[in-house]
Amino acid sequence: MRLRSTLAPHPPATGVPPRLRGGGWGEGDLTHRVLYRDGLILVIDKPAGIAVHPGPAGGPDLESGFDALRFGLPHPPALAHRLDRDTSGCLVLGRHPKALRRLGALFSGGLVEKVYWAMVEGRPPEAEGRIETGLKKLIRGSGWRMIVDASGQRAVTEYRLLETATGRSWLELRPKTGRTHQLRVHCDALGCPVVGDPIYGNRHSGEGLQLYARSVKLPLYPNRPSLKITAPVPPHMLAALARLGYDPVSDPPEAATA
């Protein structure tokens, strides 16, 4: 693992609140979680605790509600990437095959800028830096987890400390690769597991995973500015962030632009 602290400071994240947002999630309720929509894509505010696609154990999933997001098109949108079950925030969908091909090229080419916020235990060794490791899946019995292993897939995360107090820190995370559980493993590798992480942190905290996909920036359209969408802080993270100085009043809404 290499930890480097040579990054230039990132500018503050800007906020784009949902134009259509409801208080909860349920069958057919995804229209209320749309953050952005145009002819190619949708960006929705994924709720924590919901899998993005059906799993072997059953339970609710987002894909089963995608038919409500057709908005006049003959077929429902499809996932352009994934978020963990317990991670909330910006989730990008392609509205038709052409859009999915374009999004696939952007994600696989590392051209999509993703920003996450996390509340972690402790404090990282440097105020900002870069984590670069191999990640490998370790299967034990009926369960599995990702581990740092030089023979695994290359995974890179940039991080920046936003605030720290009372034994916890608020981090901005910028993944440069998209490996399974990457941010959660990398925070643990820093000695700062994500609060509420049942696999790599304290599974008994009862606070829910304190990690969310804050924003996504897509260079989707030639000769036009990149599209940036920001999701609101999820309710289960508000109290913890407020204790470290987050103020929703100073995180003002902005219009999404394409």
pLDDT (tens digit, 9 = 90+) per residue, 41-72? 999 999 999 999 887 767 789 999 999 999 99
Which has the higher per-residue pLDDT, 246 or 250? 246
Residue 112 amino acid letter: V
- Does the CA dihedral 22-66-114-124 come out positive or negative? positive
* Integer angstrom CA distances of residue 122 from 99, 188, 190, 199: 41, 10, 10, 17
End-to-end alpha carbon distance in the chain: 38
Q: Dihedral through CA 206, CA 211, CA 213, CA 214, nearest 10? A: 100
- Res. 252 pLDDT band, cuts 50 70 90: low
pTM for this prediction: 0.86
Active site residues: 84
DSSP-assigned states of every residue in 77-136:
-EESS---TT-EEEEEEESSHHHHHHHHHHHHTT--EEEEEEEEES--SSSEEEEEEEEE
pLDDT (tens digit, 9 = 90+) per residue, 162-218? 999 999 999 999 999 999 999 999 999 999 999 999 999 987 777 899 999 999 999
Mean pLDDT on 119-129:
95
CA distance 241 to 52: 25
pLDDT, position 59: 78
- Does the CA dihedral 191-197-198-203 come out positive or negative? positive
CATH number of 13-242: 3.30.2350.10
pLDDT, position 3: 44
CA distance 218 to 112: 5
Mean pLDDT on 229-246:
94
